[in-house]
Amino acid sequence: MTGPQFSQSFSERSMPAAPVRRSSLASLAGNTFFGVASVVFFVFGTFWNSFGGPWGPGTSALLASLVFALHFLLSARRASALDPVVWVPVAMLIFYFGLPVAIELLGHSGPRGYNAMGEGLNLPRNLARGYCLSLLTITSFIWGIHLVGLRDLSAGPARNPNRDNSLLPAGLVLTIGAMAMFSAGVAIMGPSVVFGRWVEYWEAKASGADPRLVDMGFVFWECGIFVLIASYDRRRKLINAFMWCSAALLAGILVQNGNRSNLIQLAIGVGWCYSQRVRRIPPVPIATAAVVALLLVPVLKEWRDFRSVEISTRSSPIALAGKALYEMGSSGLIFPYTLDYIPSQKPYALGSSFLWAALGLIPNVGLTPRTQGFQSGDTHPAEWLARTLSPNPHSVVGYGYTMGAEWYFNFGTPGVLLGSALLGFLVTRLRNSAQTSSLKLVVSALAFAAMAGYVRNIIGYSLRFLVWPLWGLLLIRFILSLLVRRPPAAARLGSVPTSGI
């Protein structure tokens, strides 16, 4: 590739975008219904005791399913089968309402029923109200989606014939560099730790082993794959082979490592980029793959914990589905436990967890990892909950957190309503602009993958997943642009004579 051609690959070429269908009856119905439903659930969640606790977790799960079904019907003609405006709400359904579905529909109550977060913990007093606020979270998020209006991206790359390869060189460097970063991290921590049982990996972290190159290697590697898919050109067979091989290798490592969170984020980002740049996939195989993935959740848990799948192989598909929903749905208990202690025993954080999450974006380039980061236990929701609930204060395993609960942790019930709607609004704006350039497609993929993590985590983790790889990508692109030799002025002017001008 010559200098001018290489330089041209960095030019951002605008791509045509499909119009936003926002004046339709479906769009008006979505704005009206989800807005009214959010206000209704806000009132019930705020004055729950005054209403006498009108329903239980199972009813909240049913209402959430009906809310999602309506959202799906209103969005189906404008969203592809891999569209994250569908799959992020699906993640909310599974992680927030999987527990009552497993217990009350599939008959899988696990060893502790609604006490799924662990032995020694008392059942939260605000169990039913917590599920009502989880219902408010998903309804408000969907309301934010419909407030923006969905651009018709259902046709995928068919309406996007132009190719933007401006990120391809930076994507190759980022992917190869992330693979080298991960390899160096394995050398530091030791292969037996990185590829051993999950508890050994976390115990090594707690004991002072430096996991940064491994953890961030995963994040940068995923971003590199998103960039390569966003820059897809079927004529580049060698690059395409590297792209798919590196994606398969990363997925295999994540399975061996037991890192299901990164695996889900990888699947969402790859699926979104693939559907918009490579090929549209019909809904049936996507739904089939999703069901298979759900059934594999307990298999992967058994593998990461015991390096065995003997129990899973003896379980029926219904039993596997029950185990998966029971385990993943335990995240829905975060809200009830948070309600038990805030504001009765701890005041609202008033945005401090978001402030410290922003400060946590400052990379640690020192020789030793941070032990506490920038947040204290009072401003880090997950650490606060683990310290409050854990019967073993020295345990290396926490309870995680959830998106809606963090907004409540900071601002109470109004924060759940407005914060969830704001996030739905912002990520839909990114989604609607995804086809205009490769960079915007990658940013939207990172944002949706981060949202999939934020569903069951704190915002600090999700922001790092979004911002750090984006910084790395833009820095690499800037450095490469400086290394490319610009053609001499005469060559740029061509053979236009200078005399007589």
441 neighbors 249 (Cβ within 8 angstroms)? no
Return the closest-CA partner of residue 432 out of 448, 419, 420: 448
Counting the structural domains of the chain, the total is 1
Q: How many CB atoms lie within 10 A of CB 191?
A: 9
68 neighbors 93 (Cβ within 8 angstroms)? yes
How does DSSP assign 223-276, residue by residue?
HHHHHHHHT--TT-HHHHHHHHHHHHHHHHHHHHHT-HHHHHHHHHHHHHHHHH
- Cα separations in angstroms, 369 against 205, 209, 496: 10, 8, 59
Q: Please give the structure tokens belonging to residue 167.
A: 């990120």
152 neighbors 19 (Cβ within 8 angstroms)? yes
What is the CA angle 362-365-367, rounded to 5?
A: 140
Please list the residues that pair with 20 across neighbouring strands. 151
Alpha-carbon span 296 to 274, nearest angstrom = 23
User: Which residues are CB-contacts of 495 (< 8 A; sequence separation ≥ 6)?
Assistant: none
pLDDT band at 11 (very low <50, low <70, confident <90, very high): very low
User: Which residues are CB-contacts of 216 (< 8 A; sequence separation ≥ 6)?
Assistant: 181, 468
Q: Please give the structure tokens belonging to residue 446.
A: 């990172």
Is residue 46 in some structural domain? yes
pLDDT band at 201 (very low <50, low <70, confident <90, very high): confident
Alpha-carbon span 210 to 13, nearest angstrom = 41
273 neighbors 442 (Cβ within 8 angstroms)? yes
Task: Tell me which of 380 and 475 has the higher pLDDT.
Answer: 475
Is residue 356 in some structural domain? yes
- Cα separations in angstroms, 289 against 23, 260, 266, 282, 286: 34, 16, 15, 12, 5
Task: Tell me which of 37 and 110 has the higher pLDDT.
Answer: 37
Please list the residues that pair with 151 across neighbouring strands. 20
Is residue 475 in some structural domain? no
Whole-angstrom distance between the N-terminal and C-terminal Cα of the chain? 34
Q: Is the pLDDT of residue 352 over 60?
A: yes
Q: Is the pLDDT of residue 9 over 50?
A: no
Of the given ranges (90-99, 243-252, 311-320, 486-495), which has the lowest mean pLDDT? 486-495
Average pLDDT score, the chain: 87
Alpha-carbon span 318 to 131, nearest angstrom = 24
Q: Is the pLDDT of residue 335 over 90?
A: yes
Tell me the torsion sign for CA atoms 181, 184, 189, 192.
Answer: positive
Looking at residue 371, its pLDDT comes to 59
Looking at residue 119, its pLDDT comes to 67
Is residue 228 in some structural domain? no
Q: Is the pLDDT of residue 227 over 70?
A: yes
What is the CA angle 212-214-218, rounded to 5?
A: 115
pLDDT digits 0-9 by tens, 271-295: 999 999 999 888 999 999 999 999 9
Over its C-alpha atoms, the chain yields an Rg (Å, rounded) of 24
Is residue 35 in some structural domain? yes
Return the closest-CA partner of residue 385 out of 446, 433, 330: 330
pLDDT digits 0-9 by tens, 143-190: 999 999 899 998 888 766 567 889 999 999 999 999 999 999 999 999
Residue 20's φ and ψ, nearest 5 degrees, are -90, 125
Domain hosting 66: range is 25-157+332-434
pLDDT band at 499 (very low <50, low <70, confident <90, very high): very low
Is residue 460 in some structural domain? no
User: Which residues are CB-contacts of 87 (< 8 A; sequence separation ≥ 6)?
Assistant: 268, 271, 448, 452
Looking at residue 498, its pLDDT comes to 41
443 neighbors 473 (Cβ within 8 angstroms)? no
Task: Tell me which of 440 and 7 has the higher pLDDT.
Answer: 440
Q: Is the pLDDT of residue 47 over 60?
A: yes
Looking at residue 466, its pLDDT comes to 93
Alpha-carbon span 458 to 304, nearest angstrom = 23
Greatest alpha-carbon span in the chain: 91
How does DSSP assign 107-144, residue by residue?
---TTTTT-TT-TTPPPPTTHHHHHHHHHHHHHHHHHH
Task: Tell me which of 195 and 407 has the higher pLDDT.
Answer: 407
Task: Tell me which of 389 and 5 has the higher pLDDT.
Answer: 389
Q: Is the pLDDT of residue 17 over 50?
A: no
Is residue 141 in some structural domain? yes
Task: Tell me which of 378 and 305 has the higher pLDDT.
Answer: 305
Is residue 240 in some structural domain? no
205 neighbors 373 (Cβ within 8 angstroms)? no
Peptide bond into 343 cis (omega under 30): yes
User: Which residues are CB-contacts of 47 (< 8 A; sequence separation ≥ 6)?
Assistant: none
Between 334-341 and 381-389, two packed helices, what is the crossing angle to 10 degrees?
80
CA 237 to chain centre: 30
pLDDT band at 388 (very low <50, low <70, confident <90, very high): confident
Return the closest-CA partner of residue 457 out of 357, 361, 316, 362: 357
